[in-house]
Amino acid sequence: MSAHEMRTYGNWRKPTSPGIGRLGLAGTLALFGGTILAIVVMFVSWIGAMAVGVLVGFSLVPLLMRDRHGRNGLQWATARVSWQRGKMRGEHLYRSGPLGRIDLGTCKLPGLSATSRLCEAQDAYGRPFALLTVPATNHHTVVLTCNADGASLVDDEQIDTWVAYWGQWLAGLGLEPGLVSASVTVEAAPDTGERLRQEVYGNIRPNAPDLARRVLADVVESYPRGSASLSTYIALTYSGAPRGSDVRRTSEKPLPFREFGVRFRWSGMKWVVVREG
């Protein structure tokens, strides 16, 4: 038996801004602009050129500083000033509803989702689902619920296959027309064991041996201890901008919305999904 070599997954590249070192694009442009300005001033006065160079150098120091989130000093200072201004105005507090501070007493979502709207649609099997629309950007988001398998009691070869399939799916998102973003959310919570209890007791036969009943009862009582319940959600956001000869697509107009091999059609007061092909 040959020992299985532990597979490591990598080739991840952190997105970086083009430019010289830590300056980034904006800092590099400022450096070139300051250099050109210093050269122009040098024809008039050496002292003025040196003063311009010192000012440009000091102005670029915040752009060289980076925190653990990758933000430079200018971005960090801007965020802090914006936070303090919003805090002084009370904008950091959110209270919706009839007694809230929202106009007309509505229960809107906070932040960037305040202008979003929720539309109801139906899939090819007639099951309703939600379509989240942001009119300001004309973006439409669909959330898919997934059941991710755990890695417990699974061979390493199977895990490598799952990772390869996941990478293939991510690569396919780059070819999906109209897709502007995709996000994966994994929620972990302590498992109460209720689902396992229903699954086991719902499948026990009346004539099952006593030993099997005792073993399953022990599993139901001991297995959920320390275990977690995982829920996986994938949010896919599409743009309603026109492509080619198509017109601009919105959630109010009866326009086809072709994604994932299906067509969304507005019928009456609801969306209807029709299979293509």
User: Per-residue pLDDT tens for 102-132?
Assistant: 666 677 777 777 778 888 877 778 888 888 8
- The dihedral through the CA atoms of 107, 112, 113, 116 has a sign that is positive
Is 6's pLDDT higher than 70?
no
Average pLDDT over residues 223-237: 81
Is 209's pLDDT higher than 80?
yes
Q: What is the identity of the amino acid at 50?
A: M
Please tell me the distance from the alpha carbon of residue 35 to that of residue 53, in angstroms, as a whole number. 7
Ramachandran category for residue 273: left, alpha or beta (phi over 0 → left; psi -120 to 50 → alpha): beta
Highest mean pLDDT among 49-58, 121-130, 141-150, 261-270: 49-58
Is 8's pLDDT higher than 80?
no
Q: What are phi and psi of 92, to 5 degrees?
A: -85, -5
Is 259's pLDDT higher than 60?
no
pTM: 0.57
Please tell me the distance from the alpha carbon of residue 203 to that of residue 181, in angstroms, as a whole number. 42
Residue 102 three-state SS? coil
Average pLDDT over residues 50-65: 87
Average pLDDT over residues 8-26: 76
pLDDT of residue 246: 61
Centroid of chain to Cα 251: 22
